[in-house]
Amino acid sequence: MRTRSPRETRDLGELIGRSVPPGTVIAFRGGLGAGKTTLAKGIARGLGVEDEVTSPTYTLVFEYRGRMPLRHVDAYRLSSPAEFEEIGASELMGTDGLCLIEWSENVAAALPAEAVVVEILPGDGPEARIVEISGSPLEELLP
């Protein structure tokens, strides 16, 4: 899927947030400035989160209340899957909520096989992005 502005990326996120079932883990891939947090903001909006969503770079995790709990993890500062386990990976990825993981590459071995992988790649121009979604159930839900 291609987006042509931050707004389009947020709108795509909103669509994801509206349709995602509880227990979903979304593993983001893509470098600094790719648009992971922008997409996460849209997902939160689709989930009905009213609080402002900001990057949990320093705190590692922010939790929000929406139609299900949203747990937003930034694994940038985690150097191993074991460190993710130490901050409570299994609860963060619980069956009751939605877990979004930025810099998921850093904790790949701790992710469930069913995690939805969302990779954001540069597109054709500064505001263009390619968003590649792989894994059930989101693959089927989106146009």
Ligand X SMILES: Nc1ncnc2c1ncn2[C@@H]1O[C@H](COP(=O)(O)OP(=O)(O)O)[C@@H](O)[C@H]1O
42 binds ligand X (CB under 6 A): no
Compare residues 71 and 129 and give the one whose CB is closer to ligand X. 129
Compare residues 4 and 91 and give the one whose CB is closer to ligand X. 4
Q: Which range touches ligand X (CB under 6 A), out of 32-40, 79-87, 93-101, 135-143?
A: 32-40
- List the x/- string, 63-92, binding to ligand X by CB under 6 A: ------------------------------
Q: Where are the alpha helices (DSSP H) in the chain?
A: 6-19, 36-46, 81-86, 89-92, 138-141
Our measurement of the distance from residue 113's CA atom to the centroid of its chain's CA atoms, rounded to an integer in Å, reads 16
Rounded CA separation 99/65 (Å): 12
